[in-house]
Amino acid sequence: MKVEPQEEHRWLEQLLGEWTITSEDSTGSGEDSQPWIENVRSMHRLWVVCEGEGIMPGGSPGQTLMTLGYNPETKRYLGTWVGSMMTHMWVYDGVIEDDGKTLALNCEGPDFENPGRTARYQDRITLIDANRRTLTARVQTENGDWKEMMSAEYRRR
């Protein structure tokens, strides 16, 4: 079976390459964490595989793996995220927002403030220009508002 990449797959190709990642410390201390490195490669122009590694707050090494693709049948972006710092696999369902620059990836996962419950999350990848992008992670509160948990800036190396 031969599958041809769609325009939506080409959007994902903007993520290809090697990136330096910086983010604010999620503890609210105002200190920046140590930069991470992410390598993003293509699987035959249908999927992108994003492999990250760096030092976690506290000094231990960390790794992440994100996969992203597009399903023309459902007209939705899809993917997964796993990290060495947790045992949950996040499964994404997403869309490109009207600005054409933001991929909103919805998922469900453990509610970190209420053990035993789940919560709705959203990771938002926003293209700033050809060499910069951001990733913002947020959780939906009980009243339906979104609360930002983490924000990272990616710069092409």
Task: Give 10-21 pLDDT, tens digit per residue.
Answer: 999 999 999 999
CA distance 37 to 51: 8
Q: What is the pLDDT of residue 135?
A: 98
Whether 151 maps to a domain, the answer reads yes
User: Is 1 part of any domain?
Assistant: no
DSSP per residue, 124-148 = EEEEEETTEEEEEEEEE-TTS-EEE
- Summarize the confidence of residues 152-156 as an average pLDDT: 98
Give the residue-averaged pLDDT of 106-124: 95
Q: Is residue 126 part of a domain?
A: yes
**Averaged pLDDT of the chain:** 94
* Residue 2 confidence (pLDDT) above 70: yes
DSSP three-state, residue 103: strand
Is residue 26 very low, low, confident or very high in pLDDT (cuts 50, 70, 90)?
A: low
Backbone angles phi, psi at 10, to 5 degrees: -65, -30
Tell me the C-alpha to C-alpha distance, in Å, between residue 80 and each of 7, 32, 107: 21, 26, 9
**Distance separating alpha carbons of residues 61 and 44, to the nearest angstrom:** 30
Q: Is the pLDDT of residue 80 over 60?
A: yes
DSSP reduced 3-state for 2 = coil
pLDDT for 25 equals 55
Domain-embedded: residue 43: yes
Q: Which amino acid is at 127?
A: L
pTM above 0.85, yes or no: yes
Q: Phi/psi of residue 57, each to 5°? A: -55, 135
Q: How far is CA 97 from CA 49, 105, 112, 128, 135, in A?
A: 21, 10, 27, 14, 14
Residue 81 located in a structural domain:
yes
Please name which of 60, 54, 68, 61 lies closest in space to residue 15, comparing C-alpha atoms.
68
What's the total number of domains in the chain? Answer: 1
Mean pLDDT of 126-138: 98
Q: What's the CATH number where 19 sits?
A: 2.40.128.20
Q: Distance of CA 37 to CAs 17, 60, 144, Å?
A: 11, 15, 34
Q: Is residue 111 part of a domain?
A: yes
Residue 152 lies in a domain: yes
Residue entry with tokens 């031969």 = 2
Tens digits of residue pLDDT in 57-76: 889 999 999 999 999 999 99
Q: Which domain holds residue 148?
A: 7-23+31-156
How confident is the model at residue 32, as a pLDDT?
60
Q: Is residue 63 part of a domain?
A: yes
Residue 23 has pLDDT above 60, yes or no: yes
